[in-house]
Structure formats: structure tokens, C-alpha cells
Amino acid sequence: DAKTTQPPSMDCAEGRAANLPCNHSTISGNEYVYWYRQIHSQGPQYIIHGLKNNETNEMASLIITEDRKSSTLILPHATLRDTAVYYCIVSTGTASKLTFGTGTRLQVTL
Amino acid sequence: IAGITQAPTSQILAAGRRMTLRCTQDMRHNAMYWYRQDLGLGLRLIHYSNTAGTTGKGEVPDGYSVSRANTDDFPLTLASAVPSQTSVYFCASSLSSGRVNEQFFGPGTRLTVL
């Protein structure tokens, strides 16, 4: 699976949009982009995934560049409860290929 | 039961002892997974099962074994625990092992091997 690069940490003010970047320049055509997050001491939680098109659900939006070499996860109105480590993963989707890196630690502040 | 559960929540174990971590899901998911998470590192896949009766090795399988006798349960066994197996262990499941791989995670088991 393609490797990903994320900033180790980011800050965001509560109520503002949090934009979390991810580089995946070696992504192949059959690999999806997945985002998970892990709130302190809990198990990871699925957020969203996409292949080519931008995606939106009740939690977040995923913007994938046209060349698919990078993506951005957007939390439109961050709250304190969104403080977590966010993992960007590229994978074909098979069980053995979902590899978690070290992610971005997002701190939402008042 | 709602979702995926793990037991015990935490455990302190003497080196050399045998230990089984339990994982149960009630979502009728076909695929199940075991990960370990060490301080400062991401999750690493230990073993997985695409469907009942089958298992496969992940990134760090040595020292661990699994079984999948039925759909709901996926126990992880440490035959002879060593201090390097001190970690937080997460069990997860997904509807299938296929392309749309939304995994649901349990609350974790914190294991300390002395």
C-alpha cells in the first residue's frame, strides 16, 4: 500500500473548520483514501473514505486532488470533542492492508 | 451486547504465563482483526480473519495465535507472554474484508507483562 505523510500536530479554534492534510504521492489506481480518528484511550473510529470524487457525510468532508496525490479532511465546525489523532490511510481495502501510521494530533481549543 | 466488546479491560501478567484476550461482536461481521498499539506508534495488525474458519497473519504475528470457530468470537492467545508484548490491544470487525473497509473497533485491552 502507498505510504502517507501527515503533519504530527495541528491546532484549531472551536467553531472553526479544521483542515487536515495528507500526502500520498505513490497512491495507485485501485487504492482508496480512508480517514479514521482515535480519541484518547479509545479504539479508532471510521470517519470517511473516497476513491476519486470528493465525499461528505455527517462527520466530515474529504477533498481529493485531481491527481489523487493528496487529500484534505475537513471538519466544518470543530468542537472540543473532535480533539483526537487523525489517521490518513491508503489501501485497496483488504484486511491485511489497512496500515495505520502515526497520524495528526488535532487539538481543538476554546 | 451492542457492537464489539473486549475482555478483560486490563490485565497484569507474569512473563511466561498464557493469556487469552477475548473479542466478541454482534454485528454479524465476516471479518475480524487484532491490532496492538504501543506508545508513540500507530496500530499494527497482528492477525486477521476474513470469515469464520479462516485466519491470516498481519504485520506482527509472532508470539500470538488466533482462532475463528464462529462468526462472533475472535480470541487472541499469548502462549508464553514476554515483556515486549506489553501494549494496548484492539479488536475490530468489518462487514467484509473487501474494498469498503469500514472497521469498527472495540474499547481495547491494556496488557502489562512483567
| Whole-number pLDDT of residue A53 | 87
**A95 in contact with B at a CB cutoff of 8 Å?**
yes
| Whole-number pLDDT of residue A99 | 81
**Is the model's pLDDT at A31 over the cut of 60?**
yes
Burial tier of A55 (Cβ tally within 10 Å: 0-12, 13-18, 19+): middle
Task: Band the pLDDT of B40: cuts 50, 70, 90.
Answer: confident
**pLDDT top residue among A97 and B7:** B7
Task: Band the pLDDT of B25: cuts 50, 70, 90.
Answer: very high
pLDDT tens readout for residues A34-50: 999 999 889 999 999 99
* Highest mean predicted confidence (pLDDT) among A91-95, B1-5, B37-41, B108-112: B108-112
Provide φ and ψ at A96, rounded to 5°. -80, 0
**Is the model's pLDDT at B90 over the cut of 90?**
yes
Residue that has been written with the C-alpha cell 502462549 in this structure: B79
Q: How far is CA B49 from the centre of its chain?
A: 10
Residues 74-93 of B with CB under 8 A from A: 90, 92
| Whole-number pLDDT of residue B66 | 98
- Interface test mutation site (partner A, options B21, B27, B103, max chain A beta carbons within 10 A): B103
| Whole-number pLDDT of residue A41 | 83
Task: Band the pLDDT of B85: cuts 50, 70, 90.
Answer: very high
| Whole-number pLDDT of residue B99 | 62
Task: Band the pLDDT of A1: cuts 50, 70, 90.
Answer: low
pLDDT tens readout for residues A53-88: 899 999 999 999 999 999 999 999 999 999 999 999
pLDDT tens readout for residues B61-74: 999 999 999 999 99
Q: What residues form DSSP beta bridges with A44?
A: none
CB atoms within 10 A of CB B85: 20
Cis status, amide bond into B107, omega within 30 of 0: no
Residues 6-45 of A with CB under 8 A from B: 32, 34, 36, 41-45
| Whole-number pLDDT of residue A2 | 63
**Is the model's pLDDT at B1 over the cut of 60?**
no
The stretch B74-99 carries a mean pLDDT of 92
